[in-house]
Structure 1
């Protein structure tokens, strides 16, 4: 009975998350035009640009969808990179549809001016029927651009929505005035829409810009749908290495073979490792007692990152994720003391990388203590497979999952508990 309860809890967990179409049956990829940018050239800056069309994050239930139309230039010192991505249409589960989505990101150098830019556009949004009718928004766009003109950092952020139309049940469409950026429009008890959120952070040697065209909040569940996000970043603090990676308490993903849709548990909590490191400080993100009803309870979780650059071509970084306790199936499976740690040291001609510090204190199934065998795999027949210290070597670094749970019912459901990824690559300056 306990095994059945655990299996049912895991199934409930996977079926309760948001669905995001991810295959050709729902969204055909937009084929980007051939890049015409000049060959990449080195700069004295760390450059980053990212954008996407939509992303869903749960409120009462800490789950999320992946990002659609996602395009990304990870931290680099090279100008002349140009990438794009898009889909012809996206369905927002239980919310509505989004028309063609396209994101473009680039790093550029012209004369003394070095730029990182992200642009996003989508054709329109139609929200599902509500008690007040249907709501449609016209073309949506956003841009976040940062640059250094040879003297100082500058920025540009902007987002636009072509129009908003409310069609009451059985009535004629009504045009709603576009609100002031940052001031929400609310359908009481149903949803809230905020237009034109932007942010610029500027400090010595650093600038960051973000533009988000729309934030749609589902009031009943506190679910947030981010639409048309563009983000760019520049820093002078890349001394000798480019760092990247993250720490996350847990995450998961399953592919539905019926329609190729992707079901995702977002990284919770998560902390990225900045391009330039953390200047020798430990940066932490914490959550306390997350609960997915009838499925999974997660105790206090931490995500930590650290990075420092020193001397000539020397750098050290680590990421660490920990969870005090995970409880599945109302005690059918209890895991305590989960920690994942990825360590990287770069020296001239040497790269040292390991997962020292990764461990799990106890695993209890059906009230009985369990020990993971030397193979690193513990299996509860017909229910779940537990893999310990799942390690992957990546360019300039290493990734480790402290425990990976795989549901053994043929669905391919996977939950990663404790994820740490660290990369330290030589900067091209």
Structure 2
């Protein structure tokens, strides 16, 4: 979204600069400096942050995030990324000034401590007559001699509406401005155990009345796990996805499973649903996703997989649809990837079995659909597999991908 500087923006930016130049308690805590050189660690680390996100009510659900920044799956300490936005409008709601995101990974060898920090600050948020000032959140996870730890800090300096000052909400005690909004402070979650830590927080959640639109302000999240030895995993599996020229005809990906950055420690993880609703396009039976990733000093290997028991579309029935993506990365940089295990059990039209089309060819049922099986796309570090793609011939231009698996393994050292 293009930054917009309305009348009075100079004053707003001056206020923003003043607020952001004074550290809050959340900003001052856990002060560390990124080292000059990037350092490999044994941990898988991630961090994300954004200024605002709007969902539901009278505002479109996909209204996006402002000043988004992220550090994806990495095992390198010494990374630092930022994103600053002077001013941005929230369509139909108001304006945000002085949005700043910082995401960092640190290591301190003397203290034996490795940290991931995500921090987000917003100088001012104006939602109609409601003005929030000095919103900040900071999520920190770290590992030291005592194990994994987490911490979330949030703050809000002031609340005004229609020229009146209101008390700042406290944790578990929101404030309500009748007819305007309910404001919550410190929406946060996370964990810390022997295997890793996760911390996330939204400094402020505002529920606008009477539309029930939810605005989340100053989001920060940080995560760290053990297990990066020779590769960084990236992958997902989902049973179905529908796309069409008509923006109203969309569904999925459903159900969706992500591969953890460090893998699964050799354990097979599963996610299942009894059936999937594709907005009346197609009847889909049970879907099961599976994934596994493991690694040692010599190689990293794993798979993602999605299986659909069966589908029915008019006279067409297809059973036992499975996509599987397999990848192995060796210490010397070699990558092996294939779609072994991708299968289609049976295609039946009006009670008669049909030959499954070879890869690269299609089966067309006049007036109904075109069917392509075993669509495989290989990349330098992985593979993407779609077991079956249906293109409807009813004029909608809809494509239905059934059985989808993607998998790649990047070097442990942090190269892209």
Report if aligned partners of 2:241, 2:252 keep a CA contact under 8 Å in 1.
yes
Report if aligned partners of 1:241, 1:313 keep a CA contact under 8 Å in 2.
no
* Residue correspondences, number: 377
Q: Residue by residue, what CA displacement relative to the aligned partner does 1:19-44 show, whole Å, maximum 9, x if unpaired?
A: xxxx65999xxxxxxxx973422223
How far 1:221 sits from its partner (Å)? Answer: 11
Q: Residue by residue, what CA displacement relative to the aligned partner does 1:103-145 show, whole Å, maximum 9, x if unpaired?
A: 33222234443221222234555558xxxxx755445432212
Map of 1:351 onto structure 2: 335
Normalising by structure 1, we get a TM-score of 0.67
Q: CA separation in 2, counterparts of 1:189 and 1:372?
A: 61
SS at match of 1:99: strand
The 5 Å alignment of 1:26-175 reads 38-54=36-52, 69-85=67-83, 88-89=87-88, 91=90, 96-97=93-94, 99=96, 101-112=99-110, 113-125=113-125, 137-149=132-144, 152-165=147-160, 172=162, 175=165
Normalising by structure 2, we get a TM-score of 0.69
Q: Residue by residue, what CA displacement relative to the aligned partner does 1:310-365 show, whole Å, maximum 9, x if unpaired?
A: 4x41332111223445567xx58776544322111234444321122223445678
Select which of 169, 174, 177 maps to 1:179.
169
Q: Does 1:285 align with 2:280?
A: no
Report if aligned partners of 1:376, 1:389 keep a CA contact under 8 Å in 2.
no
Report if aligned partners of 1:66, 1:264 keep a CA contact under 8 Å in 2.
no
SS at match of 2:197: strand
Map of 2:200 onto structure 1: 210
The 5 Å alignment of 1:341-380 reads 341-349=324-332, 350-361=334-345, 373-374=357-358, 375-377=360-362
How far 1:208 sits from its partner (Å)? Answer: 1.7
Select which of 331, 340, 346 maps to 2:323.
340
SS at match of 1:234: strand
Deviating more after overlay: 36-45 vs 262-271 = 262-271
Map of 1:16 onto structure 2: none
Map of 2:410 onto structure 1: 425
Report if aligned partners of 1:96, 1:125 keep a CA contact under 8 Å in 2.
no
Select which of 190, 215, 225 maps to 1:200.
190
How far 1:278 sits from its partner (Å)? Answer: 1.4
Report if aligned partners of 1:98, 1:123 keep a CA contact under 8 Å in 2.
no
SS at match of 1:179: coil
How far 1:277 sits from its partner (Å)? Answer: 1.7
C-alpha change, 1:262 and 1:293, in structure 2 (3 Å) is: closer
Structure 1 unaligned segments of length 5 or more: list them.
Answer: 1-22, 28-35, 129-133, 167-171
